């Protein structure tokens, strides 16, 4: 199958986009004039690395450089090759400071021909299910280090994070003094004997244990979020009676999708968001991440979650880079080197398009740029779910588009993104919209294209008016029950179907 890879090359402030067809691969990068891409820079090898295409996949391979080639957040060395996915980055040092990547090559897109048609955008690779037999291997080491049996490429993971051993007929997990912890069934542990069905969590990775075998999805993808019949009931401050501010929401958010929550003021958007983040958990129903109920597992999931609140919390008298470095030191594993911290900061700055502003004081940034710094702070922890509450409220309308574009890009970069917004101008950039009506009722969940026809309106703004009326809200709540999106929830969570039947028979 023919394929094309699109790379963004950044060198200091210069940026260039190149598209490489698979037909002419491999492409060599280095000082030698024989290379397809000649890089005459200090510390770059004659043959530094190459990009190849084999078996329908793109690979980066270090071709025997002296200093190694940086791949995402580690070095690969002579002869080592890694499969490339959208969002990956390759970096080279051209000075003697190991901490900075002077040239970066980021994989922007991979297009692969499908059948007779033209080139199509490839979806991010699905997760691969892996199995490790603990009984057979006796000891499995998990961590960021290259000597580990399971290497996790996140700065939140310690070099030697934990190990799983088999001795005297039982399997046991032992935390090796990690910074961010090892969790078994939601509890942080120093060591624990593993029983059948145990769920082990370390930052960015979940393992399931059964019959002496460790199962895990080797993934680089965002997590899925499943809401089944979620309620938030509070005591009404006026009447003292129970009041539902989130009223039976059920929906499935796919991994690596970008979903936007919209609705009039007071329709429970923020409340629904806090049910998902767990900062104010739901009072009934279930919120699952990757099909695991978050109830009782919150601590374990903290590591995968990034939350950007409406108000930015930052020190004005620091530069962008300083402020991110401070955050990085708090969030990244304590055994991270200065180099690892600096490159994490550099990658986060690049991800939010603030390259060139590293030395700018926070106080001199515009509102939109400050918001980007807040997002970069969350990205330092490599979240698999990023949640933003009205990131553009109070900012000028033209910033909305770039914020939506940023979120879309992040969602293609190993992260699921949920955003609350009140601005409908650029709504076509998201994958799905959840529209809430008065009383915290989910009235629509689906693609932007189907939104207006579903509500039978010409202008999206008319939906807000409709969903201010209780009888319309009830009508659309029940209409949602007839959609394929709701059906998907019912297949996985039958209790959602029961609740729907009850509602409809009223």
Ligand X SMILES: Nc1ncnc2c1ncn2[C@@H]1O[C@H](COP(=O)(O)OP(=O)(O)O)[C@@H](O)[C@H]1O
Nearer Cβ to ligand X (236/316): 236
Using CA atoms, how far apart are residues 433 and 444, in angstroms rounded to an integer? 7
Nearer Cβ to Mg ion (270/322): 270
393 touches Mg ion by CB under 5 A: no
| Smallest gap from residue 272 Cβ to ligand X (A) | 7
Which residues have a Cβ under 8 Å from the Cβ of 319 and sit 6 or more positions away? 358, 359, 360, 361, 362
For residues 178 and 158, the answer to whether their CB atoms sit within 8 Å is yes
| Smallest gap from residue 278 Cβ to ligand X (A) | 15
| Smallest gap from residue 443 Cβ to ligand X (A) | 13
Which of Mg ion, ligand X, none lies near 265, with the C-beta cut-off 5 to 8 A by kind? ligand X
What are 255's two structure tokens? 């991994």
- Cα-flanking dihedrals φ and ψ of residue 362, to 5°? -55, -40
Q: Is 265 left (phi over 0), alpha (psi -120 to 50) or beta?
A: beta
Which residues 214-273 are close enough to bind Mg ion by CB under 5 A? Answer: 270
Which of Mg ion, ligand X, none lies near 473, with the C-beta cut-off 5 to 8 A by kind? none
Instruction: Determine the Cα angle at 217 with ends 336 and 52, to 5°.
Output: 75
Nearer Cβ to ligand X (266/394): 266
Nearer Cβ to ligand X (63/389): 389
Lookup result for tokens 């039982």:
170
| Smallest gap from residue 244 Cβ to ligand X (A) | 9
Which of ligand X, Mg ion, none lies near 236, with the C-beta cut-off 5 to 8 A by kind? ligand X
Q: Is 362 helix (H, G, I), strand (E, B) or coil?
A: helix
The length of the chain, given as a count of residues: 506
Closest listed residue to residue 345, CA positions, set 387, 381, 384: 381
The torsion angle over the Cα atoms of residues 374, 377, 378 and 382, rounded to 10 degrees, is 150
Which of ligand X, Mg ion, none lies near 426, with the C-beta cut-off 5 to 8 A by kind? none
| Smallest gap from residue 379 Cβ to Mg ion (A) | 23
Q: Measured at CB, which residue is nearest to Mg ion?
A: 270
- Please report, as ranges, the residues that interact with ligand X according to CB under 6 A: 234-237, 243, 245, 263, 265-271
| Smallest gap from residue 260 Cβ to Mg ion (A) | 13
What are 361's two structure tokens? 């004081």
Which of Mg ion, ligand X, none lies near 268, with the C-beta cut-off 5 to 8 A by kind? ligand X
| Smallest gap from residue 250 Cβ to ligand X (A) | 18
For residues 135 and 171, the answer to whether their CB atoms sit within 8 Å is yes
Q: Measured at CB, which residue is nearest to ligand X?
A: 266
Which of ligand X, Mg ion, none lies near 263, with the C-beta cut-off 5 to 8 A by kind? ligand X
Q: Is 71 left (phi over 0), alpha (psi -120 to 50) or beta?
A: beta
Interface contacts to Mg ion, rule CB under 5 A: 270
């Amino acid at each position: 199958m023919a394929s094309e890879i699109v790379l963004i090359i950044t060198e200091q402030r210069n940026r260039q986009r190149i598209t490489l067809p698979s037909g002419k691969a491999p492409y060599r990068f280095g000082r030698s004039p024989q290379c397809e891409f000649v890089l005459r820079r200090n510390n770059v090898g004659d043959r530094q690395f190459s990009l190849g295409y084999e078996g329908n996949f793109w690979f980066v391979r270090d071709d025997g450089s002296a200093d190694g080639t940086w791949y995402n957040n580690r070095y690969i060395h002579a002869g080592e090759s890694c499969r490339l996915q959208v969002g990956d980055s390759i970096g080279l040092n051209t000075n003697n400071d190991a901490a900075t990547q002077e040239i970066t090559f980021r994989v922007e897109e991979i297009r692969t021909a499908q059948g007779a048609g033209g080139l199509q955008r490839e979806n991010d690779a699905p997760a691969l299910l892996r199995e490790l037999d603990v009984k057979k291997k006796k000891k499995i080491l998990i961590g960021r280090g290259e000597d580990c049996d399971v290497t996790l490429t996140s700065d939140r993971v310690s070099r030697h994070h934990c190990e799983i051993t088999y001795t005297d007929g039982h399997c046991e997990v032992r935390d090796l003094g990690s910074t961010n912890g090892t969790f078994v069934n939601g509890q942080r542990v120093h060591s624990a004997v593993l029983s059948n069905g145990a769920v082990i969590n370390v930052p960015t990775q979940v393992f399931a244990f059964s019959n002496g075998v460790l199962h895990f999805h080797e993934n680089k993808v965002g997590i899925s979020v499943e809401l089944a019949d979620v309620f938030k009931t509070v005591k009404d401050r006026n009447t003292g009676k129970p009041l539902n501010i989130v009223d039976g929401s059920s929906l499935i958010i796919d991994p690596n999708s970008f979903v936007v929550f919209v609705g009039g003021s007071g329709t429970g958007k923020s409340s629904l968001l806090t049910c998902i983040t767990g900062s104010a958990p739901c009072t009934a129903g279930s919120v699952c991440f990757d099909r695991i109920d978050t109830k009782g597992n919150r601590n374990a999931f903290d590591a995968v979650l990034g939350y950007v609140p409406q108000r930015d919390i930052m020190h004005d008298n620091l530069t962008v880079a300083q402020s991110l470095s401070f955050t990085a030191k708090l969030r990244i594993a304590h055994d991270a080197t200065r180099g690892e911290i600096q490159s994490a900061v550099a990658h986060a700055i690049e991800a939010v398009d603030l390259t060139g502003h590293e030395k700018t004081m926070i106080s001199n940034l515009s509102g939109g740029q400050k918001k980007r710094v807040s997002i970069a702070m969350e990205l330092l922890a490599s979240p698999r779910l990023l949640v933003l509450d009205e990131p553009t409220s109070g900012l000028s309308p033209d910033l909305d588009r770039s914020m939506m574009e940023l979120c879309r890009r992040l969602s293609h970069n190993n992260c699921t993104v949920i955003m609350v917004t009140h601005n409908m101008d650029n709504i076509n950039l998201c994958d799905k919209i959840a529209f809430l009506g008065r009383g915290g009722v989910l009235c629509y969940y689906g693609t932007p294209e189907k939104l207006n026809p579903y509500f039978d309106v010409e202008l999206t703004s008319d939906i807000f008016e409709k969903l201010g009326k209780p009888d319309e809200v009830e009508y659309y709540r029940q209409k949602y029950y007839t959609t394929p999106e709701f059906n998907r929830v019912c297949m996985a969570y039958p209790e959602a179907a029961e609740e729907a039947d009850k509602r409809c028979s009223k």
